[in-house]
Structures are given as C-alpha cells and as structure tokens.
Amino acid sequence: MSVAGHQVEEPEDREASFSALLEDSMEDLYDNAPCGYLSTLLDGEIAKVNATLLTWLGYRREDLVGRRSFADLLSVGGKLYHETHYAPMLRMHGEARELALDLVTADGHRLPVLVTATVKKNQDGDPLLVRITVFDARERRAYERELLRARREAERERERLQRLTSTLQRTLLPAELPEVLGLEIAAHYHAASSDQVGGDFYDVFPLDADRWGFFLGDVCGKGPQAAVLTSLTRYTLRAAAVHDTDPVAVLSTLNSVLRQRHDPGAPRFCTVVFGLLQPDGDDFAVSLASGGHPPPLVIRADGEVDVLTTPGGQLVGALPDAHFVATSARLTPGDVLVLYTDGLTEARRADGLMLGEDEERLPALAAGFAGTGARAVVDSLAEVLTAWADEPSDDTAILALGPRPPEAR
C-alpha cells in the first residue's frame, strides 16, 4: 500500500516495533522516569525514592529511606507550607495537586518543584502510604519570576506616565485664575483618564487695564497630540487677542493657525468659546464668539437662565473658511456666566441617557443654582456630573464668571 510514494506500515509491524522500544522493566521506568517519585509512610517517613529524584537532590538512597521524612527535604518556607496546607489537604482530600515547593539538595541549593501527592488506601479505605511525584520547576519558576519582574516594571512605568501626564496637564491649565476686582471666577476640571492628557482647556487673562479675555474649549483627540494642539490653541488665543480683541477675529486667527500645518488625513480642530469681559459700573459687559462649542449659560440672579446660542458658528481648524458667530450679554451682580465642555452634556447615566439629551435639562438644573455665586455654581455642576455618571468617561471643564454684589467687594 502506497500513498504518494510513502510506505505505510501494517498495524502488526508497528506494534512489534513499539514493543522493542517499550520499557521491559517497570522498575527501570520507576527509577529513571523524567520525574521524581517518592513514597512515604503516613507520618512522612520516606519509604521509597527513585533514582531521578536522588540525582536531583544529590543524596544516596540510604541517606533518605527510613531516615528522613519528606518535610526534611523542604526549605524552611516549604516546611511551613507543608505543615499548614499540604498535610491538611492530604488528610482531608486524600490528595494535593501541583503545589509549588522548594526542595533543598544535599549541597544546600534550592530546587523549585511542583509536587502532586495521593494517599494510597487499602480495600477497606484505610490510608496506607503517600505517593508523591516531583516535577522540576526551575524553568517555570524562572518564567514566573520574569513575569513578576515585567509586571512590576510595567507598574513603575505606569506610575511614571501618570506623573508625567498630571504634570503636563497642569501646564495646560492656568496655575491660578487671576484676581479681577468685583468678579468671582471659579473653574473645575475633571480628567477622565490618569494616564492620558485630556483635551479640555480654559483660561482667564488680562488684556489691558480694564479688559479681560477668557476662553474654554475642547480639542479633538487625546494624549500627546491633543496636548500639543491644546498648547498651540492656548497660546494662539492669547496672542491673537492682544493683536485684535474682536472675538470673531481671534477665532479666525486660530482657525488659520490650525490650518497652516494642515494634514488632510489628521485634521486638528477644536471647539472653543472666546470672550471679552469689561467692567461697566457694578456690571460686566461680555462679548463672546463660539466656534462650534456648546452654548454658554447666564444664570440670572432671579433664576432665569439665558442660553447664549451662536447659530452657525463652526468648529475651529476643520474648515478653510470657518464661520464664527458673536453674541453679547450683560452680567449684573448675582448673575453667573457658565462655560462648559461636552463632557458635562454628554455624560451618560448608567442606562445610557446623556445629561444633555434633553436640551432643557442643563438650563433647568442651572436655574436651581441661581444667586449662589460662581464658585457654588461650579461646585454644584461638578456634583451634578458625578451624580449623573458614576465615572464620567470624558474630560470635563467648567468655568464660571460672576460679578459680586457691590457690598461683597
């Protein structure tokens, strides 16, 4: 019989050739098996041991049989484990499987092994002796040590990354918000990830003696590229506002800058609100422009909430001739202007519902915080966020500006 030129042996021939190879002596198989064999009495005294294990340990048979117990072969830690786990397991279950132990060789070296033991019983079920197999686990133990080392190294790397990330994140947010006479300013930043720099940003800064610029936005993406984009956006906004304070002009400049190194396959864009703030008596006049950003709210002292929409304003950096739309508002003492990123409105409840799914929800919630001041509004919104989504999955920035009542200045 021939298949593709190969001779295939008949079954009888194969049995004959196996037979010649097979162990003809069970004693030889026992002695020279590729694992250690050991039989002990119930008290642990070694009754029988194979040559493989003797070779591994460097003992002569007469050193062990009738003279030493299995526990004598173990390291100090192994003896303890034998006492607390191995022996009780054998007594209760009649077997102990794949225990990782260290044997100590005649010359004092440790030999990591995997031990499996079963209790041999007589016909009446009374225990007679313990049979033990011992597998050399040096390579496995080395592998486990390597795994452990790699894991510790990864944990250290992760800690380093988190430190780096939080440091970088701090450089992208103002260290402290400026003091503006008569104005309370408060901000909140929630970073969704501790090992990735978030893409939300905000700032408040002086333009001249009595004018202030502010912005809040969200760049696309996360991580190092988002950090670079955030940095570029922040500095561009501040520089552009010095050149021309008109909020629409500021956003147009940012759009040009983001388009300058335009890569069609990896657009760099952000949504941002840029505004100017100017004291006027006890009030503050605000003019702002939005580039595709969720509309700011003005929470009036009396509980009314104005949504400062800028219909048609487009995100910044995505389109060559992006269109930006301005609006203005007057803040009287007790009013609070609130800017926020979509981490707040797109926060998802456990059932998947977004906080801003109903566009009336945020203004309605905000109305409840009327008259409490900028700090309290920010803190309340931060509480709303964590109450809505246990672990908000997106970064969230909130910035609030509110004229203080004259008597509180």
Please give the residue ranges that form the binding site for another protein (CB under 8 A): 218, 220-221, 264-267, 269, 271, 291-295, 311-315, 318-319, 322-323, 346, 354, 357, 359
* Strand blocks (E) in 220-281: 270-280
* Strand blocks (E) in 221-335: 270-280, 283-291, 297-299, 305-307, 325-331
Give the CA distances from residue 13 to residues 19, 205, 400, in Å, rounded to whole numbers and listed in that order.
10, 94, 91
Nearer to another protein, 88 or 224 (CB): 224
Nearer to another protein, 313 or 392 (CB): 313
Closest of 243, 291, 287 to residue 270, by C-alpha: 291
Q: Rounded to the nearest whole angstrom, what is the least distance from the CB of residue 185 to another protein in the complex?
A: 25
Q: Rounded to the nearest whole angstrom, what is the least distance from the CB of residue 207 to another protein in the complex?
A: 26
Nearer to another protein, 139 or 263 (CB): 263
Burial 16-40 (b: 16+ CB within 10 A, else e): eeeeeeeeeeeeeeeeeeeebbbbb
If you search the block for the tokens 């801003």, which residue do you land on? 356
Helices (H) and strands (E) in the chain, counts: 12, 17
Nearer to another protein, 392 or 403 (CB): 392
Nearer to another protein, 211 or 222 (CB): 222
Nearer to another protein, 208 or 358 (CB): 358
Residues 6+ apart with CB under 8 A from 193: 222
Q: Rounded to the nearest whole angstrom, what is the least distance from the CB of residue 191 to another protein in the complex?
A: 16
Q: Rounded to the nearest whole angstrom, what is the least distance from the CB of residue 199 to another protein in the complex?
A: 8
Nearer to another protein, 52 or 314 (CB): 314
Residues 6+ apart with CB under 8 A from 82: 70, 71, 74, 101
Q: Rounded to the nearest whole angstrom, what is the least distance from the CB of residue 396 to another protein in the complex?
A: 14
Q: Rounded to the nearest whole angstrom, what is the least distance from the CB of residue 292 to another protein in the complex?
A: 4
Nearer to another protein, 188 or 293 (CB): 293
Q: How far apart are CA 40 and CA 60, in angstroms?
A: 16
Give yes or no for a contact between 38 and 132, defined as CB atoms under 8 angstroms apart.
yes
Q: Rounded to the nearest whole angstrom, what is the least distance from the CB of residue 220 to another protein in the complex?
A: 5
Tokens of 290: 């939005």
Q: Rounded to the nearest whole angstrom, what is the least distance from the CB of residue 179 to another protein in the complex?
A: 33
Residues 6+ apart with CB under 8 A from 44: 69, 70, 71, 87, 130
Nearer to another protein, 319 or 367 (CB): 319
Q: Rounded to the nearest whole angstrom, what is the least distance from the CB of residue 118 to another protein in the complex?
A: 46
Q: Rounded to the nearest whole angstrom, what is the least distance from the CB of residue 271 to another protein in the complex?
A: 6
Q: How far apart are CA 82 and CA 80, in angstroms?
A: 5
Nearer to another protein, 52 or 327 (CB): 327
Q: How far apart are CA 43 and CA 67, in angstroms?
A: 12
Give me the torsion for CA of 279, 284, 285, 291, rounded to 10°: 110
Beta bridge partners of 183: 180, 403
